[in-house]
Structure 1
């Protein structure tokens, strides 16, 4: 089975390929996307029924492209980051495309981590914290590292 890093890398390469990103905007994009994904998870879990929404997304029961969690992450990224960078609609659209792709891949890496026979909030938390392979960086850490490496090469 491919690692979390490998799965995310495939999607990020596909989405970023050919997109010219100014070197001065790379860290803002990287940090903004990471905080947008984390912010959408945090805001969703705080709402009534939010745990079920996140569980459905990360267990693959809900399509990432239509998930309210993914839509919120996209809105946060667009409003807080892209709006201020003026990168142009083509670049913005390519970058926005990363969010549902990465969120969709998360559903492939969330498994029954606590051994109780189902995928639940405990499994999601364990996956986000540990990355599932003892990496210690977790899914968000892996995404940050991968995006940083790819964006660092686009000059």
Structure 2
């Protein structure tokens, strides 16, 4: 462990950076969830709002992983988020999410209802964009140290 000119250790600075990353992701996650609820509940159910909802879901998955594991890099977070989104979409083929949503409406927000192959593309593209933005932000922060 090395010491910086200000007397703080590099390891401690790394922990603070992870705490900041987690807090930023948590704040962004809250905003994305609110946006998703607005898209789902207040806007007409058309293709554009469906795509927007899917994109917000993918970003929320990405951010939730950063909140839980802020030390993971963008590539790993992206792979996990994409796997989650694809897994949930494929799970819809079982019919269980639709049945659960009929009994407990909030389950639809987490698991969707009906499989749509377009959702897979939206998830993958959105997660790739989120990972790219995350990697760019991390690179800028590293360059400023």
TM-score grouping bracket, smaller chain normalisation:
0.3 to 0.5
Q: Normalising to structure 1: TM-score of the pair?
A: 0.33
Bigger RCO (CA 8 Å, 6+ sep)? 1
More helix by share: 2
